Chain A
Amino acid sequence: MLAVSGLMDPAMGGPGVFPTAPAGTEIQEGRHWRKSNGPADEYRRSVYIFARRLVRYPMLESFDAPLAFESCGRRQETITPDQALELMNGQTVAGFAKALAGRVANDSGQTPTELVNRAYRLTLGRAPTEEEAARSQAFLGRGGEGALEDLALSLLGTSEFLYID
């Protein structure tokens, strides 16, 4: 998501970073977590997110990051509604979708066809099929606030994007 939205900070190494944690989770600023330093903390790859022994970064937790206090023989893979909620309503993911939408709008033409093509190319690495193109263009065509952003959000939530085939 970082990569396709163009936000990724490719820096390697260095101390762990502290991206903003959503309110209401076990992670509390000051107790477990430092305040985010903006992009330098937010957009590093998740491998650089600071790993505490007892709490995990919530988004990674819902996507099955293992516990830090016991050995992990095999990573679990789960599919739960809270992951879906993260992909629907999560601030972080929404931010990525917004950035992706901006990126799409920025480096392609402004016709629905061009936008859709570019969005598919960026996220799924392929051109849309005819049906997909028609559907997505219709979606954009209906307009409304943030249509492109929603298209981006949908593409980031697709199984094709989430899974390595």
Chain B
Amino acid sequence: MMKPTELTRRALLRGAGSGLGAMALATILAEEAKAAAVRHDPTIPRPPHHEPKAKRVIFLFMEGAPSHIDLFDPKPKLNEMAGQPMPASFGRPITATGTANNTLMGSPRQWKQHGKAGIWISELYPHIARHADKLAVLRSCQSDGLNHASGVGQMNTGEILSGRPSLGAWVTYGLGTANRNLPTFVSMIDEREPFGNAKNWGSGFLPAVYQGTLFRQGPNQILNTQLRPGVTDERQRAQMALLAAQNREYAELHPDDTGLQARLRSFELAYELQRSGPEAVDLSQETEATKKLYGLNRPETAVFGRNCLMGRRLLERGVRFVELYCGSGSGWDAHTNLEGNHKKWCKALDQPVAALLEDLERRGMLDDTLVIWGGEFGRTPFNEKGDGRDHNPWGFTMVFAGGGVKGGQTIGATDEIGLRAVERPVHVHDIHASILWLLGLDHLRLTYQHNGRAERPTMLGGEPRRAARLDFLPSLGCAGGRRRRGGLFQRLHLAGEALQRVFPRGRESHGGGVKLKRAQLTPRFKQPRVQLALHRVHGAIHRVHVEQPLKRTLARRRRTDEKVAQRFLMQKHETLEVRIACLHRRRHGRRAARAQHGRLAPTRDQLKLHTGLFARVDITRLPAAALGNVMVGNALRFARKQRPLDGREQAALPRAVRPVDDVQRLIEGNGYSIADAAPMRGFEPHQTETGRGRHRALLAQQPVDRRRRVLKFTEITVVLFLQPRSHGGGAVLFSQRQPLVQPFADFGRHRRGAGIGH
């Protein structure tokens, strides 16, 4: 917005006195305002990081999750196997309603290839199919949330938990506004409130001014845009001027509170919305032909058609990010009667969406307007209650068109039954990175300093290039940053980032954990031969960019690797959960840390905010070098076998492998107490002789006030905490799965998450 709040006050005052409109005055003052504006107006337009392909986005959010295998991803094999249980080789997932043992359900759809490119689209989308050559169908999307609130939340904010800014808010933050009388980010619903409601357009830790505005359904889209009876515009302006003056002074007294600026801005915007809002959504200005094109004349298409048309009007008027919910309140959630459900919703949106594409194209807007179709996840190939499908975040389809997207292509693939993405899997973070990239924003440089950390929209994930490999984005150079080599820190990064990023997402994923496939990590006791560049963003966020795909290297090595792996006693597939975070420890010397033993524990909130990655790793495949001097193999084995290793076993391990005590020493040596490693979730420890003995031994080493916690081992998870080098580098390695530390019964079994996690 060009008007600084300071000048707006004047503008309003003067406007009120002289009879000039406030907006007109703002225009007069615009030039003068520019310099001050940067200082005062958080929504001033900002230059993008690179030449944008798209100037605006319209995200058609199919809330409740549409079935990809009934719309864009035909699976003949599934129809062949219909009625049979799913073979175990597909990997049985844990689903939202526990349907993984149900029989497979074929899709009764009639499929046809459309357009010159021959895009497969089912008969449910006859209108959209006409635009097949505009579409890039991305069939290998993955997300983490098993259920709607988390899924919708992640698709909008990148995180399954609440608290992070929505993508539209990031865009508003990154680019500022492109209009002066409408919001930059608008969400529109067609039915009830979407799951998670305000967090889907909220601004999280970003200043509140960047959040989206909800346009309601019905005649009163934005409530209260009508003046009260008897109130004239002049009278209201005078009142607003008084209010603005008062608020302005108050905001100046509290310069740190961004909310106050936002409040001021919200009044200005509201004032302007009174006029421009109703105008923008006033469809009476559209021709009958346009209305008919969008299906406003038919009851089944009228609702979403109206939203699409309003969306286009908003985009024309400089709104950057429009999100239209289709079936808001989980309309697409077809646990039963998929047939009826999808027919209804497909009908509701097919013609309007086709109309939108056509209309945008006709107006020359399609080239720089990114149109996205997708839900929070897809649906399972196995049935639920006979005629429905369960949630499927392991592989689903999203469709892109317009703004910089190469149309007429199908990218990625799910397995033969459509359960998991197997070819070029693309995570929500990658999709977000790609959308931002198209808008001219580099997701690595779009950061906001929060709690000592430069937060970015894609957390610690996201790779537009991964999407770029999908060819709907051109290749992208890796973001600026210093190269670093060597050092424990980098090696730890290797472990962490590699887990998350290099190796494709694995077969088993639930609740944020990702289990990687076997043999995806090289077990060589040295770094994998990939070229690495460590990026630092504002000294806080780090990432490793892997230049060379590991696939070939791995294939070559696999045979050797198998042998090496046998040197471990664990010949069976073991998994660990690895969680990696950048932690800012308070700067105490080691001695000070010791003196305050146990008191340096970061608070729960800090940890939560800093926790970046989750991955479940095959420990047998973990490069020892990546873990520095600490290998947890022994600890794990110890836990598995419930006994200490004998000498031969010990000898069979590489020198770097140390028993559990080393893990503990490492934790404490870094100023943390083992008691900080509180359980992540509920757990069912099974007590063993060894466990008890171990527990006693550990307890004896604890300060008295720690005795209320009991240590038990069943299975072990590694939690790595990385610290940036500026904070001493190094790593803290917690060894725990559910157990390690368990509160005494009287302490409350449910006192979860005192330390790590949530």
A-side interface residues toward B, CB under 8 Å? 22-26, 54-55, 58, 62, 64, 67, 70, 73-74, 76-91, 94, 131-132, 135-136, 139, 142, 144-146, 150-151, 153-155, 157-160, 162-163, 165
Cross-chain contact A90 with B250 (CB below 8 angstroms):
no
Cross-chain contact A80 with B213 (CB below 8 angstroms):
yes
CB distance from A155 to the nearest CB of B (A): 8
Other-chain residue from B162, B192, B274 in contact with A85 (beta carbon distance below 8 A): B274
Cross-chain contact B273 with A159 (CB below 8 angstroms):
no
CB distance from A60 to the nearest CB of B (A): 12
Cross-chain contact B246 with A62 (CB below 8 angstroms):
no
Is B642 on the interface with A (CB-CB < 8 A)?
no
CB distance from B266 to the nearest CB of A (A): 4
**Distance of A62 Cα from B271 Cα, bound (Å):** 17
With A78-B211, A146-B231, A159-B263 given, name 18 new contacts (CB 8 A): A24-B218, A78-B198, A78-B202, A78-B203, A81-B213, A81-B269, A83-B266, A86-B223, A86-B224, A88-B236, A89-B225, A139-B242, A150-B238, A151-B242, A155-B246, A158-B250, A160-B250, A163-B260
Cross-chain contact B235 with A77 (CB below 8 angstroms):
no
Cross-chain contact A84 with B270 (CB below 8 angstroms):
yes
Cross-chain contact B271 with A88 (CB below 8 angstroms):
yes
The residues of B that contact A22 with a CB separation of less than 8 Å are 220, 223-224
B-side interface residues toward A, CB under 8 Å? 149, 161-163, 183, 192-193, 195-199, 202-203, 208-209, 211, 213-214, 216, 218-220, 222-228, 230-231, 235-236, 238-240, 242-243, 245-247, 249-251, 254, 257, 259-260, 262-264, 266-267, 269-271, 273-274, 329
The residues of A that contact B269 with a CB separation of less than 8 Å are 81, 84
Q: CB-nearest residue of chain A relative to B148? A: A70
The residues of A that contact B208 with a CB separation of less than 8 Å are 77-79
CB distance from B208 to the nearest CB of A (A): 4
Cross-chain contact A154 with B246 (CB below 8 angstroms):
yes
Other-chain residue from A76, A87, A145 in contact with B199 (beta carbon distance below 8 A): A76
Other-chain residue from B213, B224, B238 in contact with A90 (beta carbon distance below 8 A): B224
Given the contacts A86-B224, A89-B226, A154 and B242 also touching, CB distance less than 8 Å? yes
16 sampled A-B residue pairs with Cβ under 8 A:
A25-B216, A64-B198, A67-B197, A73-B161, A79-B259, A80-B214, A82-B214, A82-B222, A85-B274, A86-B224, A88-B236, A88-B267, A89-B226, A89-B228, A91-B228, A139-B238
Given the contacts A24-B220, A74-B163, A89-B224, A81 and B183 also touching, CB distance less than 8 Å? yes
**Distance of A150 Cα from B240 Cα, bound (Å):** 9
**Distance of A84 Cα from B600 Cα, bound (Å):** 43
**Distance of A140 Cα from B243 Cα, bound (Å):** 13
CB distance from A66 to the nearest CB of B (A): 8
Given the contacts A73-B162, A74-B163, A85 and B242 also touching, CB distance less than 8 Å? no
CB distance from B317 to the nearest CB of A (A): 15
**Distance of A58 Cα from B218 Cα, bound (Å):** 14
Cross-chain contact A145 with B235 (CB below 8 angstroms):
yes
**Distance of A137 Cα from B545 Cα, bound (Å):** 64
Q: CB-nearest residue of chain B relative to A142? A: B238
Given the contacts A81-B270, A82-B214, A154 and B163 also touching, CB distance less than 8 Å? no
Given the contacts A67-B197, A81-B183, A74 and B223 also touching, CB distance less than 8 Å? no
Closest 8 CB pairs of A and B: A24-B220, A84-B270, A85-B224, A150-B239, A154-B243, A89-B224, A81-B270, A79-B262
Given the contacts A150-B242, A154-B246, A159 and B251 also touching, CB distance less than 8 Å? yes
The residues of A that contact B246 with a CB separation of less than 8 Å are 132, 154-155, 158, 160
The residues of B that contact A77 with a CB separation of less than 8 Å are 208, 259
The residues of B that contact A142 with a CB separation of less than 8 Å are 238
The residues of B that contact A73 with a CB separation of less than 8 Å are 161-162
The residues of A that contact B236 with a CB separation of less than 8 Å are 88
The residues of B that contact A55 with a CB separation of less than 8 Å are 192-193
Cross-chain contact B259 with A81 (CB below 8 angstroms):
no
**Distance of A1 Cα from B624 Cα, bound (Å):** 64
CB distance from A141 to the nearest CB of B (A): 12
CB distance from B75 to the nearest CB of A (A): 33
Given the contacts A25-B223, A78-B202, A88-B267, A145 and B230 also touching, CB distance less than 8 Å? yes
Q: CB-nearest residue of chain A relative to B162? A: A73
Other-chain residue from A94, A144, A162 in contact with B228 (beta carbon distance below 8 A): A94
Residue in B240, B242, B262, B264 whose Cβ sees the most chain A Cβ within 10 Å: B242
CB distance from B376 to the nearest CB of A (A): 15
Cross-chain contact A82 with B213 (CB below 8 angstroms):
yes
**Distance of A131 Cα from B254 Cα, bound (Å):** 18
**Distance of A138 Cα from B226 Cα, bound (Å):** 27
The residues of A that contact B235 with a CB separation of less than 8 Å are 144-146, 150
The residues of B that contact A84 with a CB separation of less than 8 Å are 263, 266-267, 269-271
Cross-chain contact B263 with A79 (CB below 8 angstroms):
yes
Residue in A73, A85, A90, A157 whose Cβ sees the most chain B Cβ within 10 Å: A85
**Distance of A90 Cα from B269 Cα, bound (Å):** 16
The residues of B that contact A132 with a CB separation of less than 8 Å are 246, 249
**Distance of A83 Cα from B247 Cα, bound (Å):** 15
Cross-chain contact B245 with A146 (CB below 8 angstroms):
no
The residues of A that contact B231 with a CB separation of less than 8 Å are 89, 146
Q: CB-nearest residue of chain B relative to A67? A: B197
Cross-chain contact A85 with B239 (CB below 8 angstroms):
no
The residues of A that contact B266 with a CB separation of less than 8 Å are 79-81, 83-84
The residues of A that contact B264 with a CB separation of less than 8 Å are 159
Cross-chain contact A70 with B149 (CB below 8 angstroms):
yes
The residues of B that contact A54 with a CB separation of less than 8 Å are 192-193, 329
Other-chain residue from B198, B225, B267 in contact with A76 (beta carbon distance below 8 A): B198
**Distance of A83 Cα from B183 Cα, bound (Å):** 13
CB distance from B163 to the nearest CB of A (A): 7
Cross-chain contact B192 with A26 (CB below 8 angstroms):
yes
**Distance of A87 Cα from B246 Cα, bound (Å):** 15
Cross-chain contact A88 with B240 (CB below 8 angstroms):
yes
Cross-chain contact A85 with B228 (CB below 8 angstroms):
no
CB distance from A15 to the nearest CB of B (A): 25
**Distance of A162 Cα from B260 Cα, bound (Å):** 10
**Distance of A73 Cα from B164 Cα, bound (Å):** 13
**Distance of A13 Cα from B181 Cα, bound (Å):** 44
**Distance of A64 Cα from B225 Cα, bound (Å):** 19
Other-chain residue from B195, B209, B260, B267 in contact with A157 (beta carbon distance below 8 A): B267
Q: CB-nearest residue of chain B relative to A165? A: B254
The residues of B that contact A83 with a CB separation of less than 8 Å are 266
The residues of A that contact B211 with a CB separation of less than 8 Å are 78-80
**Distance of A157 Cα from B246 Cα, bound (Å):** 9
**Distance of A102 Cα from B624 Cα, bound (Å):** 77
CB distance from A158 to the nearest CB of B (A): 5
Cross-chain contact A74 with B162 (CB below 8 angstroms):
yes
Residue in B195, B198, B208 whose Cβ sees the most chain A Cβ within 10 Å: B198
Q: CB-nearest residue of chain A relative to B247? A: A159
**Distance of A154 Cα from B246 Cα, bound (Å):** 8
Cross-chain contact B202 with A76 (CB below 8 angstroms):
yes
Given the contacts A145-B230, A150-B238, A151-B242, A58 and B223 also touching, CB distance less than 8 Å? yes
The residues of B that contact A158 with a CB separation of less than 8 Å are 243, 246-247, 250
Residue in A58, A73, A157 whose Cβ sees the most chain B Cβ within 10 Å: A157
The residues of B that contact A131 with a CB separation of less than 8 Å are 249
Cross-chain contact B239 with A153 (CB below 8 angstroms):
yes
The residues of B that contact A23 with a CB separation of less than 8 Å are 220
Other-chain residue from A86, A88, A145, A159 in contact with B250 (beta carbon distance below 8 A): A159
**Distance of A148 Cα from B251 Cα, bound (Å):** 24
**Distance of A145 Cα from B198 Cα, bound (Å):** 38
Residue in A23, A70, A80, A90 whose Cβ sees the most chain B Cβ within 10 Å: A80
